[in-house]
């Protein structure tokens, strides 16, 4: 740092005060890019910065952050809630919103000050963007090139269905599919096929035409094997054989095998399923993603300050924002609402940098591979590329960070009236805390493990789901009842849910649901 | 890199979502509106409304792990006193539990509040309400015809004379009959004068010319400029025109027996009626009549906001109403509605007069007559007892009791809902 400081402090500040315009925004971007892409060597998708109003930001919030989305009442509900909280002042809006797409779209709000725009560009257009482009989960599971076009297709398709079949009919399918969104993910997916949306639309149209051409009312009276639907699609057939039961992706299974759905209903389920899959990596890497973006903006803004591109006032504003983003209240604080992904991610990444550059003996003991290797950025980049939250914690959480956060691990038996402290931040506790925290970031452990274990396609057509209750944690009763009804509605026949204890294999609970007539 | 200014993009991208949401939440919103109505002051009734909706009833369920079974481990930050092996009593169920598990993102499902616009509010409020029997002019009664132009006729009152057609006819006739023009006569006279003025008059020529002038003048008097035959009148046909103009009479008892709270009930009812009518019917006129022992027609402000007390003679209001009908709202042209609110108290000598008026005059001329009785004794008063007989032989007569503010909206819906009446 001292080196850089000595090198140059000659540059003129990019801006003075809070005002900005499109020219200064461009200058800011160029300066940030020079450091981000140049000095830090970040590898990013081309950027597209979009200036929006707070109203539009609320809109974007309501449609899960995407610029395009099909219409559904739940988005209206989220909008109403966000808007009311915002108007009451209970919640401030995000300064920025970034979409994993190519080009990478970052929304910045018009109300932001010049410094905030700098921060946002560094944070989103370089930090998140780098993460999206390089993290293996995103690379493998999402398709940044086509997502926007796919959304356009989805929106268009849902609108057409609403016109053709009525808003309510579409709504009931989307409701049911949304309820199963978290069970609509293949954890080990085949790469999403590189369908361009035009092709997707064409293919869908072909499917429909084929059906119309071959329509013969007589066939309706003949009992048909429900699998016929998918047989028509030879390149899907291949995946099908590998599939079989048990199937963890409920939406996929229903889309392919549900006996009574018509083609457009399957297509809508498919849209919901593809979006669920698209968002899945974001859930798995929330902490790392935010940590990465925060680390990047911190580096970039400091370097800009050293170059003299930011004046002292801007720097003070930056530090204020930066530190309030990173606040982590203690568990007994009134403001506590879980771990702050920004705080944990950023702390761990700063700590990796520290270990690479100024390791202590403890670091050398714990992390012989990276301690003192001198290449903090390289180490971080490989971490950003190859890990998700869970494995990142397991690999890189150091005793120092645990001490700083004063982490402690607790054990809770639902039947007991006390919780027990199992470990604190001491020699004996580090490993347990680290494993515990990693498990806490494991999305697969947070979602119930539900699989399709039986589907009687020829007889009573009953679908059986099995919940593998880890540690005896059963499904939330109330939610479960209503969700199961949605499953029954999609399946069209009786659906049974069995909850089985993962350890003993004992059946804990069974329940059934029938579709509403 | 592109920088795009999206600020001018169309706003309210989520309007479609909002409409879908409101349709979905209609039942909850209606309840909430009803609840809100109770708290509102009368003058605020048709302002826009903040609605508190339990998002639970609009929940989007999903399979999630429960909290009441099995065991779990979790890591929290900020330990400053605990050692391994310590135990911590769980907070009592309910409060505070959410904070325990740091990993779930705190997506709280509490009540949430959002504001309906005035239009959204009123739409939901008066959803499928309607003035009953608003068909008089359309189907039953064609006695309010409207004149419509229907060509010309040969006779009619002078005021309907069509001058263009008349003059056109006369012109044609004058040409056909060769009525001499003024200039022709003047020219002939000038010729005659010139001939007479000659130094050696040609008597034969003069006689000829004189005869010509005489003939022209005779022709001119016999062929009229405008003959009765030319006259054309605009003809109007009286075409029965369906109209839906309606008048609502609001009759309220403001006597001393009506306490402030009862008056408030009645006023709330009328306020609803007022908002409903002004919103849904452009042509509905409203006449406010309040009465004690005497009745008077007042404007809406006085009706809703003034205080006045006295004895009770209900028939005075009916008489006032009949007077207004006679003066301004001919039965042939108007759908007449009346709503009466009272605590059911009346001077007993007036009852027979009341019933007589209602039975023979008021109800027959009304499309619909609604009586609401306010107060704790609603349904057991002398008025109620007397009116009950009317229900049997007048289909257009309805009565309801209202004992608390809660019931106003349901009763109102009951009286004006479309589904019930066919």
Is residue A208 scored above 90 in pLDDT? no
d(CA B289, CA B339): 10
Phi first, then psi: what are they for B328, rounded to 5°? Answer: -125, -20
Lowest mean pLDDT among A281-285, A311-315, A505-509, B54-58: B54-58
Q: For chain A, say whether B95 makes contact (Cβ under 8 Å).
A: no
pLDDT at B286: 83
Question: Residue A198's pLDDT band (boundaries 50, 70, 90)?
Answer: low
The helix or strand, by DSSP H or E, that contains position A70, with its residue range, turns out to be none
Reading the block at residue B285, the tokens are 């006129």
Interface test with B, best of A22, A421, A426, A477 (most B CBs within 10 A): A421
A466 part of contact set with chain B, CB < 8 Å: no
pLDDT at A125: 93
| B105 vs A: CB within 8 A | yes
Question: A237-275 pLDDT, tens per residue?
Answer: 443 344 467 788 899 999 988 888 889 999 999 999 999
The answer to whether the CB of A484 falls within 8 A of the CB of A511 is yes
To the nearest whole Å, the CA of B394 is away from the closest chain A CA by: 42
**Residue tagged 């016999």 (tokens):** B222
Q: Tell which wins on pLDDT, A251 or A57.
A: A251
Q: In this structure, how many other beta carbons lie within 10 angstroms of the beta carbon of residue B113? A: 16
Contact B63 A437 (CB under 8 A): no
Q: How far is Cα B63 from Cα A182, in angstroms, rounded to an integer?
A: 8
Express each pLDDT in B51-105 by its tens digit: 666 655 577 888 888 888 888 888 999 888 888 888 888 876 544 433 333 333 3
Check pLDDT > 50 for residue A234: no
Token pair of B365, please? 């001329």
Q: Count Cβ atoms within 10 A of the Cβ of residue A63 and give its class: 0-12 exposed, 13-18 middle, 19 or more buried.
A: buried
**Could you say which of B21, B61, B102 has the minimum Cβ distance to residue A179?**
B61
| Residue A260 exposure: Cα atoms within 13 Å on the Cβ side | 13
Of the listed ranges A123-132, A314-323, A489-498, B148-157, the one predicted with least confidence: B148-157
Note the helical H segments in B91-248.
118-125, 163-176, 182-197, 203-222
Put simply, the answer to whether A410 touches B88 (Cβ < 8 Å) is: yes
| Inter-residue contact A389 to A288 (CB < 8 Å) | yes
Q: Record the tokens describing residue B299, joined without a space.
A: 């404007």
> What letter does residue B134 receive in the DSSP assignment?
T
- For B70, the closest of A328, A336, A469 (CB atoms) is A469
| Cα distances (angstroms) measured from residue A88 to each of A93, B19, B114 | 12, 22, 10
Q: What average pLDDT does the segment A412-441 reach? A: 90
Q: Let me know: does B372 contact B394? Beta carbons within 8 Å.
A: no
3-state helix, strand, coil in chain A (%, to 5): 55, 10, 30
Kindly tell me if the per-residue pLDDT of A291 is higher than 90. yes
Please report the pLDDT score of residue A417 as a whole number.
86
Is A483 within 8 Å of B76 when comparing Cβ atoms? Answer: no
Say if A56 is an interface residue toward chain B (CB within 8 Å): yes
Query: Which residues fall within 8 angstroms of residue A117, CB to CB, at 6 or more apart?
Result: A20, A25, A28, A108
Q: Does A93 touch chain B (CB under 8 A)?
A: no
A155/B contact by beta carbon, under 8 A? no
For A475, B108, B223, B265, B404, the CA distances from A507, given in Å and listed in that order, are 13, 31, 118, 59, 53
- Mean pLDDT, to the nearest integer, of A322-349? 89
Distance, in Å, from the CA atom of A329 to the CA atom of A332, rounded to the nearest integer, reads: 8
Which ranges constitute the DSSP H helices of A15-146?
A: 22-33, 54-62, 73-88, 114-120, 129-134, 136-141
- Sequence-distant (≥ 6) Cβ neighbours of residue A311 within 8 angstroms: A13, A16
The reply to whether residue B60 touches residue A74, judged by beta carbons under 8 angstroms, is yes
CB atoms within 10 A of CB B355: 17
CA distance A352 to A348: 6
CB contact under 8 A, B76 and A408: yes
B112 touches chain A (CB under 8 A): yes
Residues of B in contact with A333 (CB under 8 A): 78
Q: How far apart are CA A31 and CA A81, in angstroms?
A: 38
pLDDT tier for residue A214 given thresholds of 50, 70 and 90: low
CA dihedral A256, A260, A266, A270 (to 10 degrees): -50
Three-state SS sequence of A120-158: HHHHHHHHHHHHHHHCHHHHHHCCCCCHHHHHHHHHHHH
| Minimum distance, in Å, between the CA of residue A202 and any CA atom of chain B | 27
CB contact under 8 Å between A56 and B6, yes or no, is: yes
- Residue A107 DSSP class: E
Taking the C-alpha atoms of residue B390 and residue A104, their distance in angstroms, rounded to an integer, is 75
Write down the residue that tokens 């008349």 correspond to. Answer: B166
As a whole number of angstroms, the distance between CA A271 and CA B290 comes to 63
Residue B29, min C-alpha distance to chain A (Å): 13
Q: How far is CA B171 from CA A79, B152, B153, B217, B225, in A?
A: 77, 18, 18, 18, 8
The token pair at B223 is: 């062929």
The answer to whether the CB atoms of B103 and A446 lie below 8 A apart is yes
A321 touches chain B (CB under 8 A): no
Q: Which stretch of A233-242, A445-454, B169-178 has the lowest confidence by average pLDDT? A: A233-242
What is the average pLDDT across B247-262? 82
Secondary structure class of B285 (helix, strand, coil) = strand
Full DSSP string of A150-181:
HHHHHHHHHHHHHHHH-HHHHHHHHHHHHHTG
Q: CA nearest A468 in B: which residue? A: B65
B84 reaches A (C-beta below 8 A):
yes
Region of poorest pLDDT, from A84-98, A189-203, A284-298, A491-505: A189-203
User: Is A398's pLDDT higher than 70?
Assistant: yes
Confidence of residue B314 (pLDDT cuts 50, 70, 90): confident
Of the candidates A62, A183, A422, the beta carbon closest to that of B84 is on A422
Q: Per-residue confidence at A385, pLDDT binned at 50, 70, 90?
A: very high
Chain A partners within 8 Å of B55 (Cβ): 77, 81
Tell me the sheet residues that pair with B49. B116
The contacts of residue B253 (CB under 8 Å, 6+ apart) are: B266, B290, B291, B292, B312, B314, B317, B341, B342, B343, B345
Residues of B in contact with A22 (CB under 8 A): 3, 5
d(CA B316, CA B318): 5
CB contact (8 A) between residue A436 and residue B75: yes
Interface touch B66/A437, C-beta < 8 Å? no
Q: How far is A288 from chain B, CA to nearest CA, in Å?
A: 14
CA distance A107 to B6: 9
Confidence category of residue A56, pLDDT binned at 50, 70, 90 = confident
Residue B281 CA, chain-centre distance (Å), reads 2
Which stretch of DSSP H or E encloses residue B398? strand B397-402
Task: State the sign of the Cα–Cα–Cα–Cα dihedral A172, A174, A180, A184.
Answer: positive
Please check whether residue A438 is in contact with residue A390, taking contact to mean a CB–CB distance below 8 angstroms: yes
CA dist B371 → A13, A195, A232, B251 (Å): 78, 68, 67, 9
pLDDT of residue A350: 94
ipTM: 0.78
Mean of pLDDT over chain A: 84
The pLDDT value given to residue B43: 53
Q: Give, in order, the Cα–Cα distances in Å from A331 to each of A6, A196, B76, B87.
A: 43, 47, 6, 15
A47–B75 C-beta distance less than 8 A: no
Query: Which of B13, B17, B112 has its CB closest to that of A84?
Result: B112
Taking the CA of residue B116 and the nearest CA in chain A, the distance in Å comes to 10
Task: Give the single-character DSSP code of B295.
Answer: E
How far from B124 is each of B31, B121, B149, B253, B274, CA to CA, in Å? 10, 5, 43, 30, 16
Q: Is the Cα dihedral B202, B203, B206, B212 positive or negative?
A: negative
- Contacting residues of B for A440, CB less than 8 Å apart: 74-75, 102-103
As a whole-number percent, the residues of chain A with pLDDT over 70 amount to 87
Q: Residue B39, CB half-sphere, CA atoms under 13 Å: how many?
A: 7
B228 exposure class (CB count in 10 Å sphere: 0-12, 13-18, 19+): exposed
* DSSP secondary structure letter of residue B152: E
pLDDT value for A244: 67
- Selecting from A409, A414, A471 the residue whose C-beta is nearest the C-beta of B67 gives A414
List phi, psi (to 5°) of A116: -60, -40
Decide if A503 touches B, using CB distance below 8 A.
no
Q: Nearest CA to B37 among B414, B402, B417, B407?
A: B407
Is the pLDDT at A121 greater than 80? The verdict is yes
Q: What is the structure's pLDDT at A237?
A: 42
Q: State whether B2 and A49 contact (CB < 8 Å).
A: yes
Contact at CB, A167 and B19, closer than 8 angstroms: no
Q: Taking each helix axis as running N to C, give the angle between helix A286-306 and helix A312-325, from 0 to 180 degrees, rounded to the nearest 10.
A: 170
Confidence of residue B353 (pLDDT cuts 50, 70, 90): confident
Give 3-state DSSP helix, strand, coil % of chain B, rounded to 5.
45, 20, 35
**Residue owning tokens 């053709």:** A164
- Residue B57's pLDDT is what? 57
Contact A223, A179 (CB under 8 A): no
∠ CA B220-B222-B227, rounded to 5° = 100
Whole-model pTM above 0.80?
no
Q: Give dist(CA B276, CA B273) in Å, integer.
A: 5
């Amino acid at each position: 740092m001292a080196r850089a400081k000595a090198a140059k402090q000659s540059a003129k500040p990019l801006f003075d005060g809070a005002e900005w315009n499109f020219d200064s925004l461009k200058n800011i971007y160029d300066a940030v890019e020079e450091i981000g892409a140049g000095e830090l060597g970040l590898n990013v998708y081309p950027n597209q910065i979009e200036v929006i109003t707070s109203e539009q930001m609320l809109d974007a919030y309501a449609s899960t952050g995407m610029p395009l989305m099909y219409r559904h009442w739940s988005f209206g509900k989220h909008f109403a809630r966000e808007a009311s909280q915002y108007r009451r002042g209970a919640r401030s809006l995000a300064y920025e919103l970034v979409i994993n797409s190519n080009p990478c779209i970052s929304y910045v709000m018009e109300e932001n000050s010049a410094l905030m725009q700098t921060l946002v560009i560094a944070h989103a257009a370089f930090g998140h963007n780098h993460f999206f482009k390089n993290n293996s989960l995103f690379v493998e599971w999402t398709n940044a090139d086509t997502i926007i076009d796919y959304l356009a297709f989805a929106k268009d398709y849902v609108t057409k269905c609403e016109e053709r079949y009525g808003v309510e009919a579409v709504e009931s399918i989307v409701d049911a599919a949304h309820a199963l969104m978290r069970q609509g993910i293949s954890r080990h997916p085949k790469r999403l096929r590189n369908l361009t949306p035009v092709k997707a639309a064409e293919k869908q149209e072909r499917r429909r035409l084929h059906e119309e051409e071959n329509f013969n009312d007589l066939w309706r009276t003949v009992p048909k094997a429900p699998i016929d639907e998918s047989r028509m699609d030879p390149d899907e057939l291949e995946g099908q054989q590998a599939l079989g039961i048990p199937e963890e992706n409920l939406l996929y299974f229903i889309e392919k095998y549900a006996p009574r759905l018509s083609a457009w209903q399957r297509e809508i389920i498919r849209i919901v399923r593809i979006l669920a899959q698209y968002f899945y990596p974001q859930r798995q890497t929330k902490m790392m993603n935010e940590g990465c973006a925060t680390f990047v903006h911190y580096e970039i803004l400091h370097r800009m300050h050293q170059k003299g591109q930011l004046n002292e006032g801007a720097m003070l504003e930056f530090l204020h924002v930066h530190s309030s983003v990173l606040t982590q209240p203690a568990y007994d604080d009134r403001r506590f609402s879980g771990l702050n992904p920004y705080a944990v991610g950023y702390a761990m990444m700063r700590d990796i940098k520290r270990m690479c550059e100024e390791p202590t003996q403890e670091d050398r003991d714990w992390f012989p591979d990276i301690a003192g290797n001198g290449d903090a950025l390289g180490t971080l980049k490989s971490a950003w590329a190859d890990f998700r939250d869970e494995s990142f914690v397991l690999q890189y959480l150091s005793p120092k960070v645990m001490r700083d956060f004063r982490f402690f691990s607790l054990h809770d038996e639902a039947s007991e009236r006390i919780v027990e402290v199992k470990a604190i931040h001491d020699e004996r506790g580090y490993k347990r805390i680290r494993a515990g925290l990693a498990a806490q970031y494991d999305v697969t452990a947070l979602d119930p493990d539900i699989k399709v274990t039986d589907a009687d396609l020829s007889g009573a057509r009953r679908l059986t789901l099995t919940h593998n209750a880890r540690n005896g944690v059963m499904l939330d009763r109330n939610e479960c009842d209503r969700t199961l009804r949605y499953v029954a509605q999609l399946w069209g026949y009786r659906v049974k849910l069995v909850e089985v204890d993962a350890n003993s294999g004992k059946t804990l609970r069974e329940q059934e649901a029938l579709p509403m007539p | 890199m592109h920088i795009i200014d999206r600020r001018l993009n169309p706003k309210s991208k989520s309007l479609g979502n909002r409409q879908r949401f409101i349709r979905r939440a209609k039942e909850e919103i209606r309840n909430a509106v009803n609840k809100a109505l109770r708290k509102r002051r009368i003058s605020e009734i048709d302002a826009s409304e903040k609605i508190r909706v339990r998002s639970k009833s609009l929940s989007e369920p999903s399979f999630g792990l429960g909290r009441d079974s099995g065991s779990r481990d979790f890591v929290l930050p900020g330990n400053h006193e605990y050692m391994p092996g310590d135990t911590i009593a769980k907070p009592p169920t309910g409060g505070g539990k959410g904070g325990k598990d740091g990993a779930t993102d705190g997506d709280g499902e509490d009540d949430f509040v959002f504001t309906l616009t005035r239009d959204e509010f009123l739409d939901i409020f008066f959803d499928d309400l309607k003035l009953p029997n608003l068909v008089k002019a359309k189907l039953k009664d064609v006695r309010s015809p409207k004149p419509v132009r229907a060509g010309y006729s040969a006779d009619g009152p002078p005021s309907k004379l069509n001058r263009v057609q008349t003059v056109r006819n006369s012109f044609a006739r004058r040409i056909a009959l060769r009525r001499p023009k003024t200039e022709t006569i003047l020219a002939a006279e000038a010729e005659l004068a010139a001939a007479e003025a000659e130094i050696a008059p040609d008597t034969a020529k003069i006689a000829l010319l004189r005869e010509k002038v005489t003939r022209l003048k005779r022709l001119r008097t016999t062929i009229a400029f405008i003959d009765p035959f030319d006259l054309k009148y605009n003809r109007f046909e009286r075409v029965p025109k369906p109209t839906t103009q309606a008048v609502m009479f609001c009759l309220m008892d403001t006597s001393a027996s009506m306490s402030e709270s009862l008056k408030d009930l009645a006023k709330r009812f009328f306020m609803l009626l007022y908002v409903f009518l002004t919103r849904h019917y452009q042509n509905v006129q409203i006449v406010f009549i309040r009465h004690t022992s005497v009745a008077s027609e007042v404007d809406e402000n006085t009706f809703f906001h003034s205080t006045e007390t006295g004895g009770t003679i209900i028939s005075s209001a009916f008489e006032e109403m009949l007077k207004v009908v006679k003066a301004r709202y001919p039965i042939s042209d108007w759908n007449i509605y009346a709503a009466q609110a009272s605590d059911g108290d009346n001077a007993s000598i007036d009852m027979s007069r009341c019933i007589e008026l209602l039975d023979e005059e008021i109800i027959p001329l009304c499309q619909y007559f609604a009586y609401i009785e306010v107060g704790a004794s609603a349904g057991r008063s002398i008025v109620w007892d007397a009116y009950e007989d009317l229900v049997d032989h007048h289909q257009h007569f309805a009565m309801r009791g209202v004992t608390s503010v809660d019931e106003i909206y349901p009763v109102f819906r009951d009286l004006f809902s479309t589904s019930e009446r066919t």
